[in-house]
Amino acid sequence: MREVDLSALALRLRARHALLVAAGTFLGVKLLRIGRWLVYGSGRWLWWTPKGITLPPIVPVSRFHSFRHISVQRQFPLYQYQYFKQYGPVIRIPLFQLAPWVFVCDPSVAKLVTEGDRSLVLEESPKAPWLYSLFSSFTGGPNMFSRPLTTQGSIPGCLASRKAVASAFSMAQMDGIIPHLNKYMESLGEVLDRMASSERDLDACELFEGGAERESMGKSFLESVNTIVNEISVMRVTNPLRKYMWWAEHQKKFDRSGLFLRELGRDIVNKYRASHTDEELARDCSVLGHLMRSPYPSDKERIADIIIFLIAGHDTTGYTLAWIVIEVAKKPEIARKIRFSRLPQLGYQGRIATMAVTIPAGSTVSVSNFAMHRSGITRPDEFVPERWDEKSEDHERLKTIYRPFSTGMRRCVGENLAMVELRLILATLLQRYEWENLMEPRPQFYLTTKPEGAVVRMRMRA
């Protein structure tokens, strides 16, 4: 038998044991770091983040904490607002994706993201691919919002679609739209007069969504829009796998809502063609007229853009009016100032209506308008229309931070129309009716801020 060197064997066993312990410790530390990243998003971006750079500070909350703020409490921007106060204007908040998700409320960084910087040969940042897919999921394909900026093949890009309808939203065109809005206000006034005469309690959201006294077609439209907005702005943001749950009731309801809107868009196109000659189409300066004249590969792409316009101009304007009425109801003196302002100039109601860190390539960057519009101004959480006066101490600051329609090449094309609608309707609402706030709203965030639970009462002015 061969003689065994027990001392050498023991040495090899100890070395192997030490190696296994070291490897186990290394893997254990890595697993703990990955686990910590999976739950909190903290630590280096896994283990391949370049050394020597300073990332924006990360908010020490778990991903599940953030998911609850988005999908259950629906007050994520309110929490962002508090995070910015504590950790600075550029922060990371743990969410579902692998790459860092950076939130900013600094106006200079926001401008860089949305407009780029020619001096740095830096183009504006594209939207995240998953965001494009969200908005394509209910229109039947790419639309003005989800298309790339430039035209690719026969598919018009975002800039081409914007150019096709831009003149319909010009200030010169608004002069022709105001008579149509006045006619609409007459019919709306009849509905509101009936409500005011009854002096019954009204849900502010339902009132300004148009849900009150709406025919069945209108209610179906509202239900479909609310289903889609809730899904794409809340539920799928926290759970990207929801769209694959074809058996689940939420997905079936989402599919039905998308089908309803596509059929509605096709019905709009067919009725327009049946009621307009080529000469009338050539003279039509409306948004729909511009969309019908624009060269699309097929009606599928045209209908997709029509759906986007229907949704984009719906709850944004409605909820803004609701918030204004709620705030004005608390301060009757504001309503008096509006009533005695000069309507042709829309004076008083017009006022109503960086850090040394590196953002890694591949990050998702979100601009928090909710926080940015409140940064650096006096009494940021109060309703103070006077802050828009040129002599106000906040006036210059507001020029820098105020960007409700975004900036850059994807700036909201309907900005002029939205402001004209808000001012005309607001003037009518506050001159014709008195408002009483009966129940405070709970801010709920979808595509925009919804004053959920707010109850108001309106009366005819004596």
| pLDDT value for 348 | 47
| pLDDT value for 65 | 82
Task: List the structure tokens of 328.
Answer: 């004005």
pLDDT-based confidence at residue 55 (cuts at 50, 70, 90): confident
On the question of pLDDT at 413 being above 50, the answer is yes
The SS3 assignment for 137 reads coil
| Cβ-proximal residues to 346 (8 Å cutoff; 6+ apart), any chain | 423, 424, 427
Per mean pLDDT, which range of 53-57, 59-63, 136-140, 155-159 is the poorest?
155-159
**Residue that the structure tokens 């939205």 belong to:** 418
Spatial contact of 112 and 408, defined as CB atoms under 8 Å apart: no
On the question of pLDDT at 20 being above 90, the answer is no
**Residue that the structure tokens 């005695």 belong to:** 340
On the question of pLDDT at 263 being above 90, the answer is yes
Model confidence pLDDT, tens digit, residues 187-240: 778 888 888 888 788 888 877 766 555 556 677 888 898 899 888 888 888 787
| pLDDT value for 344 | 41
On the question of pLDDT at 137 being above 80, the answer is yes
Model confidence pLDDT, tens digit, residues 76-95: 888 899 999 999 999 988 88
Pairing of strands 364-367, 101-104: parallel
Burial tier of 43 (Cβ tally within 10 Å: 0-12, 13-18, 19+): middle
* CATH code 3.40.50.2300 for 129-350+414-460: no
In 10 A of CB 271, how many CB atoms? 10
What is the biggest distance separating any 2 CA atoms in the chain, rounded to whole angstroms? 117
Model confidence pLDDT, tens digit, residues 420-451: 888 888 888 888 888 888 999 999 888 888 89
| pLDDT value for 339 | 61
Task: List the structure tokens of 248.
Answer: 């689940």
Spatial contact of 237 and 76, defined as CB atoms under 8 Å apart: no
pLDDT-based confidence at residue 247 (cuts at 50, 70, 90): very high
What is the rounded average pLDDT of the residues 296-311? 90
Cα 123 to Cα 115: distance, rounded to the nearest angstrom: 7
The SS3 assignment for 394 reads coil
The SS3 assignment for 348 reads helix
Phi, psi of 199 (to 5 degrees): 50, 40
Is 285 annotated for ligand binding? no
The strand pairing partners of 437, in sequence order, are 456
Cα within 13 Å of Cα(257), Cβ side: 22
Q: What is the DSSP letter of 98?
A: S
Nearest to 296 by CA among 106, 397, 154: 154
Cα 256 to Cα 234: distance, rounded to the nearest angstrom: 18
Model confidence pLDDT, tens digit, residues 141-159: 888 888 777 766 666 777 7
How far is residue 270 CA from its own chain's centroid?
Answer: 31
Model confidence pLDDT, tens digit, residues 58-81: 888 888 888 888 888 888 888 899
Cα 372 to Cα 387: distance, rounded to the nearest angstrom: 16
Spatial contact of 371 and 75, defined as CB atoms under 8 Å apart: no
Burial tier of 313 (Cβ tally within 10 Å: 0-12, 13-18, 19+): middle
**Residue that the structure tokens 């999921």 belong to:** 137
| pLDDT value for 162 | 82
How far is residue 296 CA from its own chain's centroid?
Answer: 27
Burial tier of 89 (Cβ tally within 10 Å: 0-12, 13-18, 19+): buried
What is the rounded average pLDDT of the residues 387-416? 87
pLDDT-based confidence at residue 354 (cuts at 50, 70, 90): very low
DSSP sequence for 165-209: HHGGGSHHHHHHHHHHHHHHHHHHHHHHHHHHHHT--EEHHHHHH
Pairing of strands 442-445, 90-92: unpaired
| Cβ-proximal residues to 336 (8 Å cutoff; 6+ apart), any chain | none
Torsion of CA 79, 83, 86, 88, to 10 degrees: -150
| pLDDT value for 259 | 95
pLDDT-above-70 percentage for the chain: 84
Mean pLDDT for the chain overall = 81
DSSP element (H, E) containing 63: helix 63-71
Give the length of the chain: 462
Instruction: Pinpoint the alpha helices (H) of 331-394.
Output: 332-339, 347-352, 369-372
On the question of pLDDT at 268 being above 90, the answer is yes
Task: List the structure tokens of 194.
Answer: 């009936």
In 10 A of CB 438, how many CB atoms? 12
Using only the alpha carbons of the chain, give its radius of gyration.
27
In sequence order, what E strands does 318-441 have?
364-367, 433-439
Nearest to 155 by CA among 168, 141, 167: 141
